[in-house]
Structure 1
Amino acid sequence: MKIKNEAQLRELYGYPSGRAKNKVLKSLEKHAVNFIENSPFLVISTSSTDGKMDASPRGGNSGFVKVIDEQTIVIPDAKGNNRVDSISNIVETGRVGILFLIPGVDETLRINGSAYLSTDDTYLKLFTEELNPPKACVIISVEETFLHCAKAFMRSKLWDASSQIDRDSFPTMGQMLKDQLRSEDEPETREAMVKRYKKDL
Structure 2
Amino acid sequence: MRAEYVEITSEDELRALLGEPQPRSVAKERSRLHEMDRRWLAAAPFCLVATAGADGTCDVSPKGDPAGFAHVIDDTTIAIPERPGNRRADGFRNVLANPHVGLLFLIPGRTDTLRVNGRARLLRDAPFFDEMTVKGHRPQLALLVEIEQVFHHCPKAFLRSHLWQHEDWNPDAVPPHPEIIKSVQYTAESLDELREYYGPSYADRLYTAPKP
Q: Distance in 1 between matches of 2:101 and 2:46?
A: 16
Match 2:179 to one of 164, 175, 178:
175
1:26 aligns with 2:25: no
Note closer, same or farther for the CA distance 1:123–1:89 as it changes in structure 2 (3 Å cut): farther
Structure 1: where are the runs of 5+ without partners? none
More displaced stretch, 119-128 vs 187-196:
187-196
Cα distance, 1:104 vs. partner?
0.8
1:157 aligns with 2:162: yes
Q: Which residue of 2 aligns with 1:113?
A: 118
Cα distance, 1:198 vs. partner?
2.5
Equivalent residue of 2:56, what SS?
Answer: coil
How many residues in Structure 1 have an aligned counterpart in Structure 2?
200
Equivalent residue of 1:16, what SS?
Answer: coil
Deviation track 1:126-162 (CA, whole Å, cap 9, x = no partner) reads 2234433211011100000000000001111111111
Note closer, same or farther for the CA distance 1:85–1:193 as it changes in structure 2 (3 Å cut): farther
TM-score (norm 2): 0.88
Note closer, same or farther for the CA distance 1:161–1:88 as it changes in structure 2 (3 Å cut): same
One-letter amino acid of the counterpart of residue 145, structure 1: V
Cα distance, 1:193 vs. partner?
3.8
One-letter amino acid of the counterpart of residue 199, structure 1: R
Q: Which residue of 2 aligns with 1:66?
A: 71
Match 1:89 to one of 66, 90, 94:
94
One-letter amino acid of the counterpart of residue 50, structure 2: S
8 Å contact from structure 1 (residues 178, 184) kept in 2: no
Q: Which residue of 1 aligns with 2:202?
A: 196
8 Å contact from structure 2 (residues 125, 140) kept in 1: no
1:77 aligns with 2:79: no
Equivalent residue of 2:31, what SS?
Answer: coil
Structure 2: where are the runs of 5+ without partners? 1-5, 208-212
Identity of matched residues, %? 32
Equivalent residue of 1:56, what SS?
Answer: strand
Q: Distance in 2 between matches of 1:92 and 1:166?
A: 37
1:131 aligns with 2:136: yes
One-letter amino acid of the counterpart of residue 177, structure 2: M
Equivalent residue of 2:49, what SS?
Answer: strand
Deviation track 1:24-56 (CA, whole Å, cap 9, x = no partner) reads 111110111111110000000000001121000
Deviation track 1:59-88 (CA, whole Å, cap 9, x = no partner) reads 010101111111010100111110001111
One-letter amino acid of the counterpart of residue 175, structure 2: P
Deviation track 1:156-184 (CA, whole Å, cap 9, x = no partner) reads 111111111154x5311111111111557
TM-score (norm 1): 0.93
Question: What RMSD over aligned residues (CA atoms) do the two structures have, in Å?
Answer: 1.7
Equivalent residue of 1:146, what SS?
Answer: strand
